[in-house]
Amino acid sequence: MLTVTTELLQTLRQTLDDLQPGAGAKAAFESPKVAAHGDLATTAAMQLAKPLKQNPRQLADALCVALQATLAFQTWVDALEVAGPGFINIRLKPAAKQQVVKSVLAQGSAYGQRPANGQRMLVEFVSANPTGPLHVGHGRQAALGDAICNLFASQGWDVYREFYYNDAGVQIGTLATSTQLRAQGFKPGDACWPTDPDNPVSRNFYNGDYIADIAADFLAQKTVTSDDRSFTASGDAQDIDSIRQFAVAYLRHEQDLDLQAFAVKFDNYYLESSLYTSGKVEAVVLRLIQAGKTYQQDGALWLKTTDYGDDKDRVMRKQDGTYTYFVPDVAYHITKWERGFAKVINIQGTDHHGTIARVRAGLQAADVGIPQGYPDYVLHTMVRVVRGGQEVKISKRAGSYVTLRDLIEWTSKDAVRFFLLSRKPDTEYTFDVDLAVQKNNDNPVYYVQYAHARICSVLAAWGGDAAALAQADLAPLDTPAAQALMLQLAKYPDMLSNAAAGFAPHDVTFYLRELAASYHSYYDAERILVDDDADKRARLALVAATAQVLRNGLAVLGVSAPQKM
């Protein structure tokens, strides 16, 4: 049906251009809000009425006459109807809707995807500091980042996944000290353990059981290996540098295990420390100073971010000579641009909202050719976890939060991914553990996966050659239930494209639930394995195409499509 819609759209565009040169740019189809009104609709007559100085409804009538005279509309359209102030509703012939089944079966996993566009993009996500296991907020970010990467890959982009983390600084120092105290035999609650809630260092001490595990392995002189590093412990509890390096490597390995359990892979791990050791931070600061974009005040170096829309200027270098956190961010994003990534998306928590204006201001002030609005940001809220009707806030392993691996172990990788992607990123979300393990229609991931498994069961019971269904005569697919399902299949490519453009993987979850509902309705309305061979093959072709689109959509989310449940 995608080919049919494209042909009809081209015809509409040409007809509009005939009415007024350039008007073809207004050619577009939308789905009527009420299914009974038709299969497609266009508001072109309403948009053209004013410049043509015509009554919109009369113009719609004239446009219908012109369209009905074209070959494409004669071939594929059953009726054109003018409604309201000038809407044109289009009812397609069954043969037009049936084309989508052929397209899906011919293209398979490529259905809905666009060819390579030759453009590269980088998506930075998770980017957790190596100070503890990944929490459920990191899980939401991992699901979002991976799905957005899959969405853009489906639209022809060459997508690069990057994990950026702070491997130095105060937090890493606190991690090392916490581990050292454990290695020396102390534990939270002992007199030497910092407990002052008003002291940032004390408040941020790491109290989880995982710190004791790191200390034990350090004393045992173990070697730990992660995706980006390997380190062997000295075993000396006084060797704070060895403890620091071992703890970072240990937790990077732990995070790798979290990500493996979630089936997320990265192309690169970028170290914040490298921005300093390579001189990139100093270079960007010098560039900004030489460009006249900075000034000294109260012993600090300030950037004139108000010149670029920020609500106030920002400190770059504090009185003690250290840089504020957005300065290495500016240097980091310059490296993204220099590495050839013209499009960059950052997936971060809403607590990073304040950094957007500062980073973009710094990039514009650096004047290295980066366009305004670079990079794009997708901000997400944190996640509440409810189990047994009660909010779960603490994991013994982590000490103060529920870990991503906890959530996966309590439910499944598929449930965690689907649930965390089922709402807009900036929407508060409560993850109901009990719902995620239910095997009924209230559980959305089960509902979608069950639709796929149900189709696989039908195909297995038939036992024929599924590949042969691509040649089936689809004429019997003329019932309302079949046509409703085919229209839903036809929406997939545009949905995918729009979801990518809007950084909206939740649109995929909504679509899959609607497709599953359409299939379940079709299954309840019509027997598939009927005696008549022509009817049976047509219906099998339709459900096989439905299974393929369910698989394709679930793959975008990183969720499996089981054949049995």
Q: Is CATH 3.30.1360.70 the right assignment for the domain spanning 2-92?
A: yes
**Bridge-partner residues for 159, per DSSP?**
121
Most confident of 153-162, 197-206, 250-259: 153-162
What's the rounded mean pLDDT across residues 305-334? 93
What pLDDT does 198 receive? Answer: 59
Residues 6+ apart with CB under 8 A from 120: 157, 158, 160, 340, 341, 342, 343
Each residue's pLDDT tens digit, 54-82: 999 999 999 999 999 999 999 999 999 99
- Secondary structure (3-state) at 212: helix
Asked whether the predicted pLDDT for residue 202 surpasses 50, the reply is: no
- pLDDT given for residue 261 in this prediction: 93
How many C-beta atoms surround the C-beta of residue 503 within 10 A?
21
Q: Is the full-model pTM beyond 0.75? A: yes
In this predicted structure, the answer to whether residue 52 has a pLDDT above a threshold of 90 is no
Q: With cut-offs at 50, 70 and 90, classify the pLDDT of residue 401.
A: confident
**Phi and psi, residue 396, nearest 5°:** -60, -35
Q: Tell me: the pLDDT tens digits for 516-553?
A: 999 999 999 999 999 999 999 999 999 999 999 999 99
Give tens-digit pLDDT for 83-98: 999 999 999 999 999 9
Query: Where in the chain are all domains bearing CATH 1.10.730.10?
Result: 441-557
CATH 1.10.730.10 fits 441-557, yes or no: yes
Question: What integer pLDDT is reported at residue 190 of this predicted model?
Answer: 86
Please write down the long-range contacts of 508-512, taking CB distance under 8 Å and 24 or more positions apart: 508/147, 508/151, 508/421, 508/553, 508/556, 508/557, 509/418, 509/421, 509/422, 509/444, 509/557, 510/422, 511/553, 512/448, 512/550, 512/553, 512/554, 512/557
Domain with CATH 3.30.1360.70 in the chain: 2-92
pLDDT of residue 219: 97
- Mean pLDDT (the chain) is 93
Q: Which of 23-27, 65-69, 249-253, 505-509 has the lowest mean pLDDT?
A: 23-27
What does the block give as tokens for 41?
Answer: 């609709």
Helix (H, G, I), strand (E, B) or coil at 496: helix
